[in-house]
Structure 1
Amino acid sequence: MIPPNSSLVKYDNPVLVSRNTEKKTPKSRPLKVNSTSPQPGSGPVPTPPGKKLPPVDAKNNQQTDEILNSILPPREWTENGQLWVQQVSSTPATRLDVVNQQEELDRRLQQRQARETGICPVRRELYSQCFDELIRQVTINCAERGLLLLRVRDEIRMTIAAYQTLYESSVAFGMRKALQAEQGKADMEKKIAELEQDKRDLERQVNELKARCEQIEKRAAELRQVEEKKHSEELQFLKRTNAQLKNQLEGIIAPNKK
């Protein structure tokens, strides 16, 4: 028989359970226990002659076993086609058992190299098993107190699950934002490169236009100088012509006066 993974929770000895492959009605029991030892609640145990057993409340014991099985379900595993079931122990724990459990917890924490601080799945698993064992011990002595601790355990687990979901959501949100930022960064870098290229093109166009403007201004200055020179020559020519005509006119008018 291959035992299941060890746990800090105390269990009874495994019991072999055989599967009945015959066709059953929906109300029939799916499993049949093969065990030579009498099971709890299977029938009265004969009392040896001359001895008296202490009074035991069988109904309370059965109710406690049911509560224990509901809080800590039996473990099941298969070996060679056979199903083995191991139920949680209903034996009360002594003070020595608690001390041994504490030492076993410390030993397993050191053996599995659990982290002392921060998030550690190994440390969480071992402390969860230790808490389940404490619930088992308390439930045997007081079922109501055990059920109350069960509520506390479930609330803690729901809180941890909620924090874990929140953490995973925040990590996914952060990764999504990081990818968006990377994509946005690439887009911005591409846009910056395009704008820089446009700037260089505009600067080239400005330089070309400045060169054309200088050429036009130079050509206009040259044309203006030519026109001014031509105008000056024409003016001088007209002045000379005017002077000649004036002299001719004076020469014509002077003899007539005599």
Structure 2
Amino acid sequence: MMPPVESLVKYEEAEKTKSKKSNAAADPKAKSVQTEDILNAILPPREWTEGGELWVQYVSTQMPTRSDAIRLAERLDQRLKLRGAREHGICTIREEIYAQCFDELIRQVTIDCPERGLLFLRLRDEARMRIAAYQSLYESSLAFAVRKAVTGEEQRNELLHQTKNLTNECEELRHALHDQTERAETIDSKEEEKWQQMKIKHHQEIKSLKDTYKAQTKHLQELLAPPPGFVK
């Protein structure tokens, strides 16, 4: 395990030990020991292996001062700027640094009043659970959005394919309609020509029949006429 990275939480010097034992009954400073135990429960010691030996680093039990709070604010701004945390929106770096700052505040409050520190611990855990719930909801919403996007893209491609097919079908029908219109116009033209020819032929036949009728009528009248010089 690698040594822990620098944190806004104030720690004591690392030491080669596995645990920090305390006995409140035998120690005259029972309150101090109790506060130390509460601090270790709230902010567990950091452990890592280096050179084949186990190193442990406990949070500092030094009584905080006003300058510590001012220094913490300065370090907070420096750390945000150094790590390039975003000022707005979701930023894991900013979230991590502010979490360290809150832990340091809990440490300072716990040393002054353990009960108040435990109350701050409840607030921190509640905030973390809420953030975890929001994170889970965000991931679920993101997965749902991705599924909907994929489904929408598939439907879009399907609609584009259907649109293309319908466009081609409309174009084919348009060509077929154009061909049928030209064919109908050709047929109408031919029928009109035949009709005109039939009218001309009919008129010619009627004229011929009238001429024949006139000729036969004249011939019949000539036949029925009395010969010249006939006296009745």
Query: What range is the shorter-chain TM-score in?
Result: 0.7 to 0.9
Matches within 5 A, 1:22-41: 39-41=21-23
Counterpart residue type for residue 108 of structure 1: R
Indicate the SS of the match to 2:167: helix
Structure 1 length as normaliser, TM-score? 0.75
Is 1:124 matched up with 2:95? yes
Structure 2 length as normaliser, TM-score? 0.82
Partner residue in 2 for 1:12: 12
Counterpart pick for 1:253 among 200, 211, 224:
224
Matches within 5 A, 1:175-254: 175-254=146-225
Return 5+ residue gaps in structure 2 as ranges: none
Q: Distance in 2 between matches of 1:116 and 1:64?
A: 36
Counterpart residue type for residue 108 of structure 2: Q
Counterpart pick for 2:58 among 87, 95, 108:
87
Higher helix content, 1 or 2: 2
Superimposed CA distance per residue, residues 57-116 of structure 1 (whole angstroms, 9 cap, x where no aligned partner): 42x444333322221112121224433222223332233333332333233233323333
Partner residue in 2 for 1:159: 130
Q: Distance in 2 between matches of 1:195 and 1:207?
A: 18
Q: Distance in 1 between matches of 2:46 and 2:138?
A: 31
In structure 2, relative to structure 1, the CA distance for the partners of 1:6 and 1:43 (3 Å cut) is farther
How many residue pairs end up in the alignment? 229
Counterpart residue type for residue 203 of structure 2: S
Deviation at 1:43, TM superposition (A): 9.2
In structure 2, relative to structure 1, the CA distance for the partners of 1:202 and 1:91 (3 Å cut) is same
Q: Distance in 2 between matches of 1:141 and 1:151?
A: 17
Return 5+ residue gaps in structure 1 as ranges: 18-31, 46-55
Indicate the SS of the match to 1:137: helix
Indicate the SS of the match to 1:15: coil
Deviates more, 1:232-241 or 1:176-185: 176-185
Partner residue in 2 for 1:149: 120
Q: Distance in 1 between matches of 2:88 and 2:179?
A: 70
RMSD: 2.9
Q: Percent identity?
A: 47
